[in-house]
Amino acid sequence: MSNILTSLEDSSFSCSCAKEMINGGIHGHLNDCSARNLKTSANVKGPKKDPLPKDEEDFLKAVFQVILEDGIRKGRDITQKVVDFHQPDELKTLLDLEIRDAPEDHQGLIKHMKDTVKYSVRTSHPRFFNQLFSGQNSYALAGQWLTETLNTSQYTFEVAPVFTIMENVVLHKMRDIVGYTGGDGIFCPGGSISNLYALNVARYRYMPDIKKTGLFGLPRLVVFTSKQSHYSIKKAASVLGIGTNNVVLVNCDERGKMITSDLEAQILRVKAEGAVPFFVNCTAGTTVLGAYDPLEEVANVCEKHGLWMHVDAAWGGGVMMSPKYRASRVRGVERSDSITWNPHKMMGAGQQCSAFLLKHENLLQHCHEAKAKYLFQQDKFYDVSYDTGDKSMQCGRKVDVFKLWLMWKAKGNQGFHQDMDAIFDKTRYLVEKVKAREGFKLVLDEPECSNVCFWYIPPSLRGKEDEADYKDKLHQVAPKIKERMVLSGTMLVGYQPLGNKPNFFRQVFSSPTVTEEDLDFLVDEIERLGEDL
Amino acid sequence: MSNILTSLEDSSFSCSCAKEMINGGIHGHLNDCSARNLKTSANVKGPKKDPLPKDEEDFLKAVFQVILEDGIRKGRDITQKVVDFHQPDELKTLLDLEIRDAPEDHQGLIKHMKDTVKYSVRTSHPRFFNQLFSGQNSYALAGQWLTETLNTSQYTFEVAPVFTIMENVVLHKMRDIVGYTGGDGIFCPGGSISNLYALNVARYRYMPDIKKTGLFGLPRLVVFTSKQSHYSIKKAASVLGIGTNNVVLVNCDERGKMITSDLEAQILRVKAEGAVPFFVNCTAGTTVLGAYDPLEEVANVCEKHGLWMHVDAAWGGGVMMSPKYRASRVRGVERSDSITWNPHKMMGAGQQCSAFLLKHENLLQHCHEAKAKYLFQQDKFYDVSYDTGDKSMQCGRKVDVFKLWLMWKAKGNQGFHQDMDAIFDKTRYLVEKVKAREGFKLVLDEPECSNVCFWYIPPSLRGKEDEADYKDKLHQVAPKIKERMVLSGTMLVGYQPLGNKPNFFRQVFSSPTVTEEDLDFLVDEIERLGEDL
């Protein structure tokens, strides 16, 4: 029996022809290897079976062609539509979604894949300005394909040796960029969950007994966040049993930034009511206006009142890597206790990639650990501090780090510095363009992030600002233009109201490859689609 | 301006040569298309730029070769090691993980990808029995690669038209299999989060005000789950502010199944204390022993006391698709209120793919909705009931459905029926083998799921069951064999203690491609690694 093992060890990974595989053809290689495998694997009965049969390999190659041509090349092609829109009921008839008893053949499956691409929105298109993610990075994509292929879970070094130590390296680097010394972190399935982590560990720090005894019988815990912050804070408070009524919405100034004096007034009010403030969420890049809360000022208030300071930088966190714009946007971020930062947004890493970082050590572990003996055995033969899964509120956890790491390797720090500068520079270009254009009106004269919010005022409404129904009419313009835009498929831009402001467009991009021509097109196209309204 | 749009519409997706792409070369095609694009895209200034430059395309092709050869063919190759293990500190020196200022070239990146494969655990290897996932399905993998390429978020029909309606179709189908009429569901990032959803919507159903006002001042809410259930129930209770002390652990019988009489006794005890029972978690396939709780009996208790019945079928849910084994394992499952079912486990869909299904309508929406106006605009021009994102406690949500749908199309219902029967049939084979083998002792004579738990008793310990230190010595056998196993890299199997039982192996598999030879090897190899202990 020991002979078998020796021969196995000899054959594993030692195939010298592997090195030639990338540039050369694979068939000759396979034949060589198969022969050697037959010799060395005495434990395998019968004739050697190719672990990847030819028809399966051919299928995967055909899939790769669909991905390369339909998914990537056409997906980024400016001459293609961003979306080929059909109403839901019509789309159901165009796609064959039903699952049947019998299997389908490879040809049919490839057709399904092509249809899926055809009717999906091309988020990598240069004119997709609709969401807080856009563009497509080949390195991140390559990293994610490999991650999927390796299909492991991030919980233990035992099954994810490379990815557990890689996660430590990347999270450490991200904390360095924030300005934390030491600390901890974890990748989460999205920014909302990262914000949920922030609330949960902060609560644990102030009242660790809650983990065991719950909130019953305790005085109200209260969370503070700005009126323009993301709804995930409220959702998290509801999940955590704190309740949305115990999320105090702090007023914002005209630029959408939290008013620190109001924050402090609300804290004092809540204390006077006998409730217990414990958590302040600041936003670095609000969802609609892209506002950065005044972090230094908030840090002063949090220090004074002993509150946890969290920064939701899910969207605007990329600016921490911009030499040109960082200081004016996030000064004081290093004074926070924790931060949510989504590289799948401004850094283009692909969904999902959201880091929750904190400056405190051991807190994640103590807050979440359940010490399951079937997974986190303490009698393993390696240093089990590398088994980081018990820090999580999940069990199995998808590997989200590799795509970011590979992309970062490909760009270097320099690349991200340039990208972030470029995104903010191009925003300035669009701002100036919209300012100068007749019929366009900025919501903010000087937006801070790559959100550029504006109204398009069709000729029929210009000069009628004082009429009673002006706001109502203007409110209907953006949805109507959006409808035409989607049906044309030429681009995608979002719109929404805000407070008492009627619907306006929110142009947003997170891809450094967006050009001035794309931004010119955006403005021209909105005018074309809406000038008769 | 309208001419440009017309020409764009004409050119989009109408390229007739697309159909020839899969089997033919792509270069001729590209040239043809490029020429046409130049003609039709009057809005593009300057010479046409290839949206996927040659060097980038070459890189992606090289990546695909690494994935195909290193990731897939070698990953499934029985003559390869399952893991090439190195201690964490050594692994750090073998990998070049540091991110530097300067970018790295394609050659370096390909090297990093190959190293990542080399030192990662091959979870698709036929002898990976370590986790509740294993194997590799090419269709699921292909689906996931395309999902990554299309990179969208599942929240609105607007940006995920295909995937929102596909999610509805697949969740509906899964509910049909469970036996729910109507109902609702959502894909979640893993089973722990699905279980968290269950607790949250159940709580909302009984006390909807908690969403707004929290748990403060309420009587204790109490959750029931078996002693051998997954730790995610406790983690979820802690996150939800209920507290782990309010999770009552119900006794199990010798086979690891919840004892219903104890459940009822505990419910009465809790009520007598003035606390409020609201939720019972049953397990269909416990983590260690693979036990199925008696669902009909638990349903009777839940109906009698008006409690929410949840089934954590994250692991063992696949049996619902086995014509041969379903009835004896999950009879009564359709009487539950909700279920967690992870196709990324027994159905081999790849991580992450976890469905939370419930028989109640509107509850997910009402429990989680925040009605964000920037995302879920109500003045859209399509039926906004297709914007399902506000049902989620997340905002952006990764598309987890496509890989499962494509794989299901490829297999048909028949394929899954056969797979599930095969997994359970092969488990019988291993059980009989272990029963008959000297030195091996089953923990359960008749395991119900594909978990086969057993002790290996080395010759030095045989016949010494009555000695005082027998259990202590046996407790050390599995960790020692596991160490040798990892260092040999020949296979991976997990171990753990349970209650007062010393460490035993838990063989587990979820891949229908595991053969009897693989299971023979498992037993021989454990003996080889441990016979001198």
Gap between the Cα atoms of B435 and B470, Å rounded: 21
What letter does residue A258 receive in the DSSP assignment? B
Residue B31 above 60 pLDDT? no
Structure confidence at residue B47 (pLDDT): 57
Task: Tell me which residue of B255, B96, B524 sits closest to A45, measured CA to CA.
Answer: B524
Residues of B in contact with A352 (CB under 8 A): 189, 396, 398
Q: Judge contact between B275 and B222, C-beta under 8 A.
A: yes
In the three-class reduction of DSSP (H, G, I as helix; E, B as strand; rest coil), residue A524 is classed as helix
Of B18 and B59, the one with more pLDDT = B59
Of B21 and B259, the one with more pLDDT = B259
Residue A113 above 90 pLDDT? yes
Which residue in A219, A494, A498 is closest to B216 by CB distance? Answer: A219
Show which of residues 459-488 on chain A sit within 8 Å of chain B, judged by CB atoms: 476, 479, 482-483, 486, 488
Show which of residues 84-113 on chain A sit within 8 Å of chain B, judged by CB atoms: 84-88, 91-92, 95, 97-104, 108-110, 112-113
Residue in chain A closest to B475 (alpha carbons) equals A379
Gap between the Cα atoms of A293 and B271, Å rounded: 48
Strands A338-341 and A128-129 turn out to be unpaired
Gap between the Cα atoms of B27 and B33, Å rounded: 10
Structure confidence at residue B24 (pLDDT): 32
A32-35 LR contacts (CB < 8 Å, sep 24+): none
Residues of B in contact with A212 (CB under 8 A): 238, 243-245
Mean pLDDT value across chain B: 92
pLDDT band for A47, please (50, 70, 90 cuts).
Answer: low
Residue B399 above 90 pLDDT? yes
A468-491: average pLDDT: 97
Residue A33 above 70 pLDDT? no
pLDDT band for A22, please (50, 70, 90 cuts).
Answer: very low
Structure confidence at residue A19 (pLDDT): 33
pLDDT band for A17, please (50, 70, 90 cuts).
Answer: very low
Residue B526 above 90 pLDDT? yes
pLDDT band for A49, please (50, 70, 90 cuts).
Answer: confident
pLDDT digits (tens, 9 = 90+) for A256-278: 999 999 999 999 999 999 999 99
Residue in chain B closest to A21 (alpha carbons) equals B65
pLDDT digits (tens, 9 = 90+) for A165-206: 999 999 999 999 999 999 999 999 999 999 999 999 999 999
Counting DSSP H helices and E strands in chain B, the numbers are 17, 12
| Least confident residue range of A28-42, A443-457, B53-67 | A28-42
Which residue in A71, A148, A235 is closest to B144 by CB distance? Answer: A148
A210 touching chain B per CB within 8 A: yes
Gap between the Cα atoms of A31 and A37, Å rounded: 10
Show which of residues 31-70 on chain A sit within 8 Å of chain B, judged by CB atoms: 37, 40-41, 43-45, 50-52, 56-57, 59-70
Q: Judge contact between B283 and A251, C-beta under 8 A.
A: no
Q: State percent of chain A over pLDDT 90.
A: 90
pLDDT digits (tens, 9 = 90+) for A220-238: 999 999 999 999 999 999 9
Q: What is the DSSP string of B1-27?
A: -HHHHHHHHHHTT--GGGGGTTTS-SH
Q: A-B interface: how many C-beta pairs under 8 angstroms?
A: 595
Residue in chain A closest to B201 (alpha carbons) equals A239
The predicted complex's ipTM stands at 0.91
Which residue in A69, A151, A152 is closest to B21 by CB distance? Answer: A69
Which residue in B43, B210, B370 is closest to A234 by CB distance? Answer: B370
pLDDT digits (tens, 9 = 90+) for B441-495: 999 999 999 999 999 999 999 999 999 999 999 999 999 999 999 999 999 999 9
Judged by CB atoms closer than 8 Å, whether chains meet at B91 and A5 is answered as: no
Of A322 and A10, the one with more pLDDT = A322
Judged by CB atoms closer than 8 Å, whether chains meet at A91 and B149 is answered as: no
Mutate to test the interface with A, among B109, B150, B212, B473 (most CBs of A within 10 A): B150
Structure confidence at residue A6 (pLDDT): 34
B352 touching chain A per CB within 8 A: yes
Token couple for B526: 């454990």
pLDDT band for B499, please (50, 70, 90 cuts).
Answer: very high
- Amino acid identity, position B304: K
Residues of A in contact with B503 (CB under 8 A): 379
pLDDT digits (tens, 9 = 90+) for B360-398: 999 999 999 999 999 999 999 999 999 999 999 999 999
Domains and CATH numbers, chain B: 69-136+411-532 (3.90.1150.170), 153-398 (3.40.640.10)
Structure confidence at residue A512 (pLDDT): 92
pLDDT digits (tens, 9 = 90+) for B187-214: 999 999 999 999 999 999 999 999 999 9
Residue B149 above 80 pLDDT? yes
Structure confidence at residue B49 (pLDDT): 80
Give chain A's radius of gyration (CA, Å).
Answer: 27
pLDDT band for B32, please (50, 70, 90 cuts).
Answer: very low
Q: State percent of chain B over pLDDT 70.
A: 91
Which residue in B131, B240, B492 is closest to A239 by CB distance? Answer: B240
Residues of B in contact with A398 (CB under 8 A): 189-190, 351-352
Q: What is the DSSP string of A406-453?
A: HHHHHHHHHHHHHHHHHHHHHHHHHHHHHHHSTTEEESSSS-SSSEEE
Q: What is the DSSP string of B263-313?
A: HHHHHHHHHHTT-EEEEEEEEBS-TTT--B--HHHHHHHHHHHT-EEEEE-
Residues of B in contact with A149 (CB under 8 A): 67, 71-72, 75, 136, 141
Q: B476: cis peptide before it, omega within 30°?
A: no
| Least confident residue range of A222-226, A253-257, A508-512, A527-531 | A508-512
Judged by CB atoms closer than 8 Å, whether chains meet at B161 and A88 is answered as: yes
CA B86 to chain centre: 27
B18-23: average pLDDT: 33
pLDDT digits (tens, 9 = 90+) for A122-138: 999 999 999 999 999 99
A439-445: average pLDDT: 97
Residues of B in contact with A162 (CB under 8 A): 91, 95, 115-116, 119-120
Residues of B in contact with A519 (CB under 8 A): none
Judged by CB atoms closer than 8 Å, whether chains meet at A22 and B133 is answered as: no
Which residue in A41, A173, A496 is closest to B79 by CB distance? Answer: A41
Gap between the Cα atoms of A161 and A154, Å rounded: 9
Structure confidence at residue B335 (pLDDT): 98
Judged by CB atoms closer than 8 Å, whether chains meet at B374 and A506 is answered as: yes
Structure confidence at residue B29 (pLDDT): 32
Which residues does A507 contact at the CB level (< 8 Å), separation at least 6? A129, A430, A451, A452, A453, A454, A493, A522
pLDDT digits (tens, 9 = 90+) for B105-145: 999 999 999 999 999 999 999 999 999 999 999 999 999 99
Residue A3 above 70 pLDDT? no
